[in-house]
Chains A and B, each alone.
Chain A
Amino acid sequence: MTVLTVNGVKQETSVDSSTPLLWVIREQLELTGTKFGCGIGQCGACTVRLNGTAIRSCLTPVAAADGQEIQTIEGLAPSDGALHSLQAAWIKHQVPQCGYCQSGQLMSAAALLESNPTPSDEDIDLAMEGNICRCGMYGRIKAAIKTAAKAGADNTADGTADALTIIATAKETADE
């Protein structure tokens, strides 16, 4: 029996302890926002956070996450109806095309900003090098990370308000 805390919720699973975390998240927990891309840690589509650090869940046996805190894309937003500043920036810069890699991109970017709130271009390259985007939206990803970093640096009130306005508009359009 493996016990995980996923997005703040305690979960138990009895699958073979060598099963990669990715498949437990997708199949047992039915959190399908985390994607399968290569199975060998090369593409980053499966990126989740383990105690805050971005990891490749396709290579991480579920046993290694026993008793640990996991965050997936479903848990990135601070609360229901709100978005993480990175998600807001992703919408502002219209980053996703097919969108398949974006959960992994966002989780890598979230880990980056938490450890380095004002990353340089080189910092971004280093942190995001493991996440492939076959639609090639790297320029937009970089710009969006900077926007989110700036929103964070501008310190709560203004940055958050901006982000929420962006989201509200986008959500409204999407929900119709």
Chain B
Amino acid sequence: MNKWTRRSFITTGLLAGGGLMVGVALRPGNRAKGLAQHVTSEGETFVHTWVKLDANNVVTAIVPHAEMGQGVGTALTQMLADELNADWNLVKFEEAPAITPFANHPILKGMLPPGVEIPEIVVPTVDGLLMRTAQALNLQITGGSMSVRSTGVYGMRVAGAAVQEMLRLAAAEAWQVPLDQVVARNSQLIHEASSRTEPYSAFAAAASEMTPPSTPQLKTPEEFTIIGHHVERHDIPSKVDGTATFALDVRLPNMLYATVRRTPTFGGGIESLDDSKARALPGVVDVIRLPASKAEALVGNFTATESVAVVAEGYWPAKQGLDALKIVWSETANDYVSSASIFEQFDRDISAGVDREVDVAEGDFEATMANAAQVIEADYRAPYLAHTCMEPLNATAVVEDGRAEVWVGCQAPLPFRQAIADAMGFDAENVTLHNCFMGGGFGRKSRADYAIQAVQLAAKMGRPVQLIWTREEDVRQDFYRPAVQSRFRAGLDKDGNLTAWENTYVDKHEPVEAPLIPYTPLTASNIGYVSSPTHVPFGAWRSVDHSQHGFFTESFFDEVAVAAGQDPYEYRAARLADKPRQLAVLRKAAEAAGWGAPLGEGQGRGISFQECFGSIVAQVVEVTVLDGQTQVDRVVAAVDAGIAVSPDGLSAQIESGIIYGLTAALYGEITIENGAVKQSNFSDYEALRISAAPKIETHIINSGSAIGGAGEPGTPGVAPALANAIFDATGFRVRSLPINLIDLDYKVEDVVTPA
């Protein structure tokens, strides 16, 4: 029987047909509190990143991350192929199957042919990032802009380098020549002195017998030939001819369709249901009440309340049936909660400051404020936001004989599998999950509520069911980017230097460093938060806490610069003087944007700086405000992600993050009325359209620092850069979002600039 050893790092196996398979296993070392539950279990072995080499000399990277548009498969495969010296045309990738490594070697069932022995190899030093890598790999979570900087750095590159060394060794032995004379190049092994050239695949079998090197030699950045170079994404051709399969496109024999409505007021339930009209409609097969469900998720557990589904021969009759339901929702304690009452609560809780938790407290804040020549104060607010992925939530399921098979697009295949198993009372081994391309994810598809509903319906019907949420349900039953209020006080000395910075905000999620500012020196600072819980479900939303705090801190810091009578860019630059890498990014954005160049009537320019998810981004926005209408003309971004593995992919992610953040800054607001979400669809929860899209220029800096994330860092900086540009254009300081709710034409006359 196959056996995983406790400390496997790099593992090999022979594939049927003589191919080679290599895995990288990450062993959890210290059992950090909180992470241990995710990364340790009886087996302790993580085996997720795999390389296959087949008899046709084709390398397959098996990528443990989900594709939601970010090009992760291509970027990770680049990292593997580069270290392997592979021919890019002989490389492909697959997404890893959703199978857990926790139980008794179930991974072997899906991944390895029988009879493979796994050699034990020394594990490298385990540090913090590696722990997070292990967590992400273990749960197959795609989020936190982690894939390239964790899996890529610790998995793909190491695996590629190890395989390359093993193949060279195998060739050297076969040819009886010194190892250092064997060159691996373009998927060929070459011995020049004897004019011998053979494909990698010729030595796959021999290599699989070897003990892999535990610390293979990795390339230096100067040696990269694929990393940092432009390659076309593998998934794109299928996305221009309609053949890419999203979960919505799954077609099973005898399949029914369903759509669903959940209690609109969060925490509520169903008082009564009259489904007689729905059942009478042609094509409607059944109306089913689904129980509440709960599951553990990456960022906090969640509960989804009761819902009603209409099952029919097609989506359309199901939707007609849904509209024909007469549902009386039960009264809840939250029926009178509104956005206004929530912000009143935030305001009250910040003022009361009860049990305030401190992120950072340095120096004597009150004493520094007492000595300040100038004090400024402001409150900032950001609303709830929905994710509105292009692809409405959907899942397809079959349940038979105590087993479920599910097709879904999700950011966390293993937690989904577990959540489904828990909801159905199955063992996880009896749930097979097929992860499809996601039509957007942005954090929403890390919650398994919709997949659970589909499985519950399939179990009831005894037939395959495809559950498709209406867009209205998608908007009203999200896990929302939370509304936040932040209260600032700052003190300046007589020369305009910032000496004291205080920020008290409500509720903290992650990343923990989101509310911090990078600027120094400061005599005193105090950043902290109070708890102010609401009934609105929390969800991670592209860049998570950075999305609000980026707007707050970079806008208020702009207020400080203005109060000091100084240029907002130069004021920032002076306070990044001891951080050359950060300063270079700020300078690049400002210089590329032509900071200081004259602007036309109604135009303004604003800047922001953000460091998050391991990357540094500075943005300059140019805006025109005429007759109260805001047009974003241009965004210039500079980004340092250490090394841009896929430069065009990084640019695309920054462009994408900016438009996502701009949609939120200009239009994004989920309003709570009577405890429920008011908005319903793109008609009242707008997305930025092509005519409003600015010209975006992305400038990449390859500093050579540790590789950073790409999916999220572009998002937080655009709102403050835009708000600062609007101030530059109009003298009006935007302190709450979205901007389209502000009458800039009216208020421009009334504005009082900070003293």
Interface residues of A (CB under 8 A from B): 15-16, 19-20, 23, 26-27, 30-40, 42-43, 45, 72-74, 76-77, 83, 87, 90-91, 94-103, 106, 124-126, 128-142, 167, 169-174, 176
Q: Which B223-278 residues sit within 8 Å CB-CB of chain A?
A: 231-246, 248-249, 251, 257
Chain B window 531-552, contacts with chain A (Cβ cutoff 8 Å), 1 for yes, 0 for no: 0000000000000000000000
Interface residues of B (CB under 8 A from A): 58, 68-71, 88-92, 231-246, 248-249, 251, 257, 282-283, 314-317, 319, 388-392, 437-442, 468, 470-471, 648, 652, 655-660, 662-663, 681-683, 687-691, 693, 695-696
Interface pair B652/A140, CB less than 8 Å apart: yes
Contacts of A170 in B (CB 8 A): 232, 236-237
Interface pair B696/A37, CB less than 8 Å apart: no
Interface pair A99/B58, CB less than 8 Å apart: no
A35 to B691, CA, bound (A): 22
The 7 closest A-B pairs by CB, nearest first: A33-B242, A136-B659, A100-B439, A98-B69, A99-B239, A97-B69, A73-B242
Interface pair B90/A135, CB less than 8 Å apart: no
A129 to B682, CA, bound (A): 13
Interface pair B89/A176, CB less than 8 Å apart: yes
Interface pair A37/B471, CB less than 8 Å apart: yes
A141 to B392, CA, bound (A): 22
Interface pair A137/B242, CB less than 8 Å apart: no
A130 to B695, CA, bound (A): 19
Contacts of B470 in A (CB 8 A): 39
A104 to B244, CA, bound (A): 14
Interface pair B241/A83, CB less than 8 Å apart: yes
Interface pair A94/B248, CB less than 8 Å apart: no
Interface pair A98/B249, CB less than 8 Å apart: no
Q: Which residue of A lies closest to B649 (CB)?
A: A94
A129 to B89, CA, bound (A): 37
Contacts of A169 in B (CB 8 A): 232
Contacts of B243 in A (CB 8 A): 33
A171 to B241, CA, bound (A): 11
Q: Which residue of A lies closest to B88 (CB)?
A: A173
Among candidates B248, B655, B687, residue contacting A132 with C-beta atoms closer than 8 Å = B687
Contacts of B240 in A (CB 8 A): 83, 87, 90-91, 95-96, 102, 106
Q: Which residue of A lies closest to B233 (CB)?
A: A94
A136 to B657, CA, bound (A): 8
Q: Which residue of A lies closest to B693 (CB)?
A: A138
Contacts of A139 in B (CB 8 A): 655, 693, 695-696
Q: List 10 A-B contacts (CB under 8 A).
A: A27-B314, A35-B391, A45-B390, A74-B241, A74-B242, A134-B389, A139-B695, A140-B652, A169-B232, A176-B92
Interface pair B690/A138, CB less than 8 Å apart: yes
Among candidates A99, A124, A126, A137, residue contacting B652 with C-beta atoms closer than 8 Å = A137
On whether A32 and B681 interact (CB within 8 A), knowing A170-B236, A173-B89, the answer reads no
Q: Which residue of B lies closest to A75 (CB)?
A: B242
Interface pair B315/A94, CB less than 8 Å apart: no
Interface pair A137/B656, CB less than 8 Å apart: yes
Is chain B's binding surface mostly helix, strand, loop or mixed? loop
A27 to B256, CA, bound (A): 10
On whether A32 and B251 interact (CB within 8 A), knowing A19-B316, A98-B390, A171-B237, the answer reads yes
Contacts of B89 in A (CB 8 A): 172-173, 176
Among candidates A31, A36, A96, residue contacting B315 with C-beta atoms closer than 8 Å = A36
Min Cβ gap A16→B in Å is 7
Contacts of A98 in B (CB 8 A): 68-69, 389-391, 437-441
On whether A173 and B652 interact (CB within 8 A), knowing A97-B71, A100-B246, the answer reads no
Interface pair B390/A73, CB less than 8 Å apart: no
On whether A34 and B236 interact (CB within 8 A), knowing A129-B691, A172-B89, the answer reads no
Contacts of B244 in A (CB 8 A): 99
Residue of A34, A37, A141 with most chain B CB atoms under a 10 A cut-off = A37
Among candidates B232, B242, B693, residue contacting A103 with C-beta atoms closer than 8 Å = B242
Interface pair A129/B237, CB less than 8 Å apart: no
A38 to B471, CA, bound (A): 5
On whether A43 and B682 interact (CB within 8 A), knowing A134-B390, A134-B440, the answer reads yes
Contacts of A73 in B (CB 8 A): 241-242
Contacts of B691 in A (CB 8 A): 125-126, 129
A32 to B277, CA, bound (A): 30
Contacts of B656 in A (CB 8 A): 97, 135-137
Among candidates A32, A77, A132, A176, residue contacting B682 with C-beta atoms closer than 8 Å = A132
Min Cβ gap A31→B in Å is 8
Contacts of B232 in A (CB 8 A): 91, 94, 169-170, 173
Min Cβ gap B87→A in Å is 10
Q: List 9 additional A-B contacts (Cβ < 8 Å) besides A23-B314, A97-B69.
A: A16-B317, A94-B233, A98-B438, A98-B440, A124-B690, A135-B69, A171-B237, A173-B88, A173-B89
Contacts of A34 in B (CB 8 A): 242
A26 to B233, CA, bound (A): 27
Interface pair A99/B682, CB less than 8 Å apart: no
Min Cβ gap B180→A in Å is 31
Contacts of A16 in B (CB 8 A): 282-283, 316-317
Interface pair A27/B693, CB less than 8 Å apart: no
Interface pair A40/B471, CB less than 8 Å apart: yes
A171 to B235, CA, bound (A): 10
Min Cβ gap A143→B in Å is 11
Q: Which residue of B lies closest to A132 (CB)?
A: B687
Among candidates B315, B688, B690, residue contacting A27 with C-beta atoms closer than 8 Å = B315
Contacts of A132 in B (CB 8 A): 390, 682, 687, 689
Interface pair A129/B652, CB less than 8 Å apart: no
A33 to B437, CA, bound (A): 13
Interface pair A128/B248, CB less than 8 Å apart: no
Interface pair B695/A42, CB less than 8 Å apart: no
A34 to B244, CA, bound (A): 11
A83 to B199, CA, bound (A): 33
Min Cβ gap B504→A in Å is 33
Contacts of A133 in B (CB 8 A): 390, 659, 690
Contacts of B88 in A (CB 8 A): 173
Contacts of A102 in B (CB 8 A): 239-240
Interface pair B242/A36, CB less than 8 Å apart: no
On whether A96 and B683 interact (CB within 8 A), knowing A138-B690, A176-B89, the answer reads no
Interface pair B238/A174, CB less than 8 Å apart: yes
Interface pair B655/A40, CB less than 8 Å apart: no
Contacts of B70 in A (CB 8 A): 97
Min Cβ gap A84→B in Å is 9
Contacts of B314 in A (CB 8 A): 15, 19, 23, 27
Contacts of A103 in B (CB 8 A): 242
Interface pair A36/B237, CB less than 8 Å apart: no
Contacts of B441 in A (CB 8 A): 98
Interface pair B237/A99, CB less than 8 Å apart: no
Q: Which residue of A lies closest to B237 (CB)?
A: A174
Contacts of B660 in A (CB 8 A): 134-136
Interface pair B237/A91, CB less than 8 Å apart: yes
Interface pair A125/B690, CB less than 8 Å apart: yes
A35 to B241, CA, bound (A): 13
Q: Which residue of A lies closest to B441 (CB)?
A: A98
Contacts of A125 in B (CB 8 A): 690-691
Contacts of A15 in B (CB 8 A): 314, 316
Min Cβ gap B466→A in Å is 9
A37 to B390, CA, bound (A): 6
Q: Which residue of B lies closest to A92 (CB)?
A: B232
